[in-house]
Structure 1
Amino acid sequence: MKSFIIAWKDFKIRFTDRRGFMMMLLMPLLLTAILGSALSGFLNEGGLPKTVIGYYQEDEDTFTNMFRTDVLEAKEIKDDVKVKKVSSRTDLEEMLKEKKIDVGIIIPKQWSEHIQEGKLKEVELLTDPAKDIQAKIADSLIRSFFERVQTTAFTTKSVVTDLAQSQQGNVQEVAKNVGTDLQAIATSNKSGIETGTIGKKTVTAMQYYAAAMLVMFLLYNVTVGAKSIVGEQRTETLARLLTTPTSSYSVLLGKFFGTLLFACIQFGVFVIATHYAFGVNWGDDIAQLTVVGISYAICVSGLSMLIAAFIRDEKTADVMGGIGIQLLAILGGSMLPIYVFPDTLQKVANVAPNKWALTSFLDIMSGTSWNMLLPIILSLSSAGILSVIIGTLRLRTR
């Protein structure tokens, strides 16, 4: 009971702090409105980013023509991928330099001369560093085509070899039929890239940045909660509390519950405000949203206890808030979508709890199941509880 009294006291102090109210509630709403509106085109709410591919083949080859007409110019992706055929490498490089194309593809001479062995010569990609996503799309199209050609060649060879060994049937006729059928599969319109969503619905830019700003500003509770504890240690408020008939565990758990209560109310107010002010759809399952939000709040509140246990003054907490939180926000996708990061940075981002909270909120918006969310819910909650235990034990000994 005493823990809840301390928690309520801490909550009232933070809620009545005008500067803290602006920082924790109004600022994320303002940034959501700005980023959601300004960057809606960047996220391309319709599907794949528009990609213009410059195409140059050094000679005439049956497979090069198939690749261009049946893969790059397939009707399934024609709204997202446009192909501009050029007559020389120089023209291709010039168009890329002038930003007339996003990526260039150069098909070498005799591209398919080793096709019977399931091999194609290496295709050269000319890329613009600023168009990394478009380059990945072009690379995916090439690799998808190559893998299907390779499968076709090996399958045909295997079938013909088996027939020859068994000496049954007309080997040449069967080989011709199998090769024709498999070639049709290899050059089919299934390009390897299909537009769509992971869930049932597409997430808009406003939805994305609403979730991104929510997880970022909830993260600030880590330093705010830690500063509260360190500040009360400096002013000896905690020492006076411990002279009362209140155990140290009750006091420290009260500090944790105070941060948790503020984070949960901040979460609820932000979700309601963005829904009615900006029309943000947070998904059809309110229970999923609530459970993920609470588990993330537990994680953040627990980390505040852990940080408080290892710092000695409020200035250190300010530095962590200014640099550490911003770094986590960038890694977690609050500034730019994670998929635009290099592969190495995407792996590093897995250490950021806000990254898992953000992806969970986006999954809920697009429509997902509890089975997909449960591992993240358990991980966030466990991280928070473990942090509370370690932080409480260390603070008590201090």
Structure 2
Amino acid sequence: MRTIAWFELRRMSRSRTVLFNLFMLPMILIFILGTALSSFFGINEDYVPEKVKVGFIGIETSDSLPASLNAFMEEPAIAEVLIPSMGMTRDEVESKLRLGEIDVAVVIPSEFETQIFSGGKVQLEMILGKSHTRNVIAQSMLGTFMDEANSKQAQALIMGPEVFAKGDSTAFERPSYIESGKLNEQGKVYTAAQYYAASMLIMFLLYSGLMASNSLLGEKEGNTLYRLQSLPVSNVTIFSGKILGCSLVTLIQAIIIIGGSSLLYGVNWGDHVGLLLLICILITLASMTIAIIIALVTKSASTATAVIQALIVAMTFLSGGFTPLPVDFIRQLGEFTVNHWALQGILHMMLNADISEILTSVGALAAISLGLLAGAVLTYRKVGYHA
């Protein structure tokens, strides 16, 4: 077994294609993706919304605003964004909207306050301006006010108008249910280089399974498996030696990608070196077992290569390895992949997250890898490795 594994190591080390695909290509991709997409990662600043100039039609001064709306506009977080303008007619507002002097306009119906606290129908009319972003900001903030108004209307309808004092602005006072903070107080936001270093590490470790499938099927297609089986060694020894050799190359590949990205690109892989090594071993196990299953059930190396490549690309996409995915359904599918749990585990290490979060990802990855190993053993026992 050691002799066969050593032969596999020597054979792959002499192949320029293998050396480029396994060692050079991932480093190049980490550099390209980490540089090109750096603006989308590592943003550690809170979003500051644009200021929006709001023109109120038919309102002379802020004192003329309904008390509840005036109290809402005077809240510090709202006042920083929504800048009111008063004393304009509808024609003047429309002219200023065209010129960009104001961003949105609001028409407040008569008896606004009375309708709210009596349970009557009430709505604000908004005239949108040129800026889509500022329109959305104004709609979102004023929509929050109208949600509160709808809530008070519902209370008035159910419990009666007398539940509120007419025009009482304190009726809109409510406790704050939002607290500003960071998703992870212990670590930093990961950079694009970190994200794609982890993603490319996982993807190329899985691609290493192609070496195993090509080696196994190459012996069959080249009719050299007959000669190997004529030796006084079992098929299991031959089979295991090839897988062992490919696994060693894969682990060497992991060390080079981790060390190279750290030295050349400054990628911080975190402080959990042992757990990072364990994840690499589990990915290697998953890579080899996937290759074994596909190589044993397919008849040619080209077919096995196509299936493995398609599977790896699909798993990388579903796990967000190419770009973080916003669609919940796709993210849920990604939880069934090797890439997802390996990527989450490595990112948690990079962020110095709590050890329980890291172990959760490692445990899920271990369960998937052991499941694949069981599948590979069953496939080998049923199909075997014969010429």
* TM-score normalised according to structure 2 size: 0.71
Counterpart of 2:305, as a letter, is D
Amino acid at match of 2:22: M
Change (3 A) 1:285 1:233: same
The one of 261, 264, 272 aligned to 1:277:
264
Residue aligning to 1:241? 228
C-alpha distance 310-30 of structure 1, shift in aligned 2 (>3 A): same
Alignment equivalent of 1:334, drawn from 321, 344, 349: 321
How big is each residue's C-alpha offset from its partner over 1:323-362, in whole Å with a ceiling of 9 and x where there is no partner? 4433332222222123xx3222222222331122112111
Q: Counterpart of 1:280 in 2: which secondary structure?
A: coil
For residues 17 and 65 of structure 1, the distance between their equivalents in structure 2, rounded to whole angstroms, comes to 75
CA deviation map 1:202-240 (0-9, x unaligned):
212221121122122222123332222222222233443
- How has the CA–CA distance of structure 1 residues 319 and 149 changed in structure 2, closer, same or farther, with 3 Å as cutoff? same
Cα offset, 1:372, TM superposition? 1.6
Counterpart check, 1:202 vs 2:185: no
Counterpart residue identity of residue 352, structure 2:
G
2:175 is matched with 185
Give deviations 1:249-281, integer Å, cap 9, x for gaps: 333333333332222221111111111111111
Cα offsets for 1:142-171 (capped at 9, x unmatched)? 799689959x979x99xxx9xxxxxxxxx9
Matched, 1:314 2:301: yes
Match of 2:330 among 341, 345, 354: 345
Change (3 A) 1:360 1:70: farther
Distance 2:213 2:206 in 1: 12
Distance 1:395 1:348, change over 3 A: same
Query: Residue 193 of structure 1: CA displacement?
Result: 5.9
Q: Equivalent residue of 1:185, what SS?
A: coil
Equivalents in 2 of 1:27, 1:342: separation in Å? 29
Rg: which structure is higher? 2
**Closer, same or farther in 2 for the Cα pair 1:357/1:265, shift >3 Å?**
same
Q: Which residue of 1 aligns with 2:363?
A: 378
Say which of 353, 356, 370 aligns to 1:368. Answer: 353
Q: Look up the match of 2:33.
A: 35
- 1:19 maps to 17
Alpha-carbon distance in structure 2 between the residues aligned to 1:195 and 1:57: 35
Counterpart CA distance in 2 for 1:327 and 1:172 is 58
Aligned equivalent of 2:8: 10
The 1-side partners of 2:233 and 2:146 are apart by 69
Percent of aligned pairs with the same residue?
22
For the 8 Å contact 2:344–2:361, the answer to whether it is kept is no
Distance 1:267 1:196, change over 3 A: same
Describe the shift of the 1:386–1:342 C-alpha distance in structure 2 as closer, same or farther (beyond 3 A): closer
Q: Kindly provide the amino acid, as one letter, of the partner of residue 42 in structure 1.
A: F
Aligned-partner SS, 2:269: coil
**Of residues 276, 297, 301 in structure 2, which corresponds to 1:289?**
276
Change (3 A) 1:244 1:278: same
Moved more, 308-317 or 8-17: 8-17
Are the aligned partners of 1:215 and 1:358 in contact in 2 as well (CA < 8 Å)?
Answer: yes
Using structure 1 for the length normalisation, give the TM-score. Answer: 0.69
Matches of 2:244 and 2:117 in 1, distance apart? 66
- Residues 147, 280 of structure 1: CA spacing in aligned structure 2 closer, same or farther, 3 A cutoff? farther
Farther off after superposition, 244-253 or 192-201: 192-201
Paired amino acid for 2:43 = E
